Structure 1
Amino acid sequence: MSDDSPRLAVLIDADNTSARLVKEMFEELAGYGTITVKRAYGDWSSDGLKGWRNVLLGNAISPQQQFAYTTGKNATDSALIIDAMDLLYSRNVEGFAIVSSDSDFTPLAMRLRESGKRVIGVGQRKTPKAFVEACERFVFLEVLDSSSAVEPPEESPSEQPEENSPRPIQSVLTKALNKVATDDDHWTSLSALGNHMNRTDPSFDARTYGFSKLSDLVKGQPFVETKIVTGPSGQGSLWVRLKGRRPADAPAARKTAKPAAKKSPTKKTASKAAGTAKKAE
Structure 2
Amino acid sequence: MAEHGNDSRLAVLVDCDNTSPDILEYALQVVAQFGRVVMRRGYGNHSTLANKWQEALVRMAFSPCLQYQYASGKNTSDIALALDAQEALFDDRADTFCLVTSDSDFAYLCRKLRERGATVLIVGEAKTPDALQNASDQFFMWQPAEVISAPTPEDVATTEPKGAPPQPAKKRRPRALMDAVALLSGNTTDGKVGLGALGQYMKRTNPSFAPKVYGHSTLSDMVRSYPDLLLTQGQGNGFWVSLKPAT
Cα distance in 2 for partners of 1:150, 1:62 equals 41
Cα distance in 1 for partners of 2:91, 2:43 equals 20
Which residue type is aligned with residue 21 of structure 1? I
Q: Which residue of 1 aligns with 2:151?
A: none
Q: Which residue of 2 aligns with 1:59?
A: 60
- Among residues 45, 49, 73, which one is paired with 1:43 in the alignment? 45
Which residue type is aligned with residue 88 of structure 1? L
Higher relative contact order (CA 8 A, sep 6+): 2
Q: Which residue of 1 aligns with 2:215?
A: 210
Count of equivalent residues: 223
Q: Which residue of 2 aligns with 1:245?
A: 245
TM-fit CA distance, 1:223: 4.8
Contact 1:150 1:209 in 2 (8 A): no
Q: Which residue of 1 aligns with 2:161?
A: none
Structure 2 gaps of 5+ residues are 148-166
Contact 1:40 1:62 in 2 (8 A): yes
Are residues 23 and 176 of structure 1, via their aligned partners in 2, closer, same or farther at CA, if it must alter by over 3 Å? same
SS state at 2:122 partner: strand
Residue 178 in 1 paired to residue 182 in 2? yes
Which residue type is aligned with residue 171 of structure 1? R
Cα distance in 1 for partners of 2:37, 2:48 equals 28
Q: Which residue of 1 aligns with 2:136?
A: 135
Are residues 205 and 241 of structure 1, via their aligned partners in 2, closer, same or farther at CA, if it must alter by over 3 Å? same
Q: Deviations over 1:4-51 (max 9, x none)?
A: 61101010101111222322221111112211111111124348x733
1:214-225 pair list within 5 angstroms: 214-225=219-230
Structure 1 gaps of 5+ residues are 154-167, 247-252, 254-281
TM-fit CA distance, 1:126: 2.0
TM-score normalised by length of structure 2: 0.78
SS state at 2:53 partner: helix
Q: Which has the larger radius of gyration?
A: 1
TM-fit CA distance, 1:97: 0.9
Contact 1:152 1:208 in 2 (8 A): no
Q: Which residue of 1 aligns with 2:77?
A: 76
SS state at 2:245 partner: coil
Q: Which moved more, 1:217-226 or 1:94-103?
A: 217-226
1:89-238 pair list within 5 angstroms: 89-142=90-143, 152=170, 169-181=173-185, 183=188, 186-230=191-235, 235-238=236-239
SS state at 1:138 partner: strand
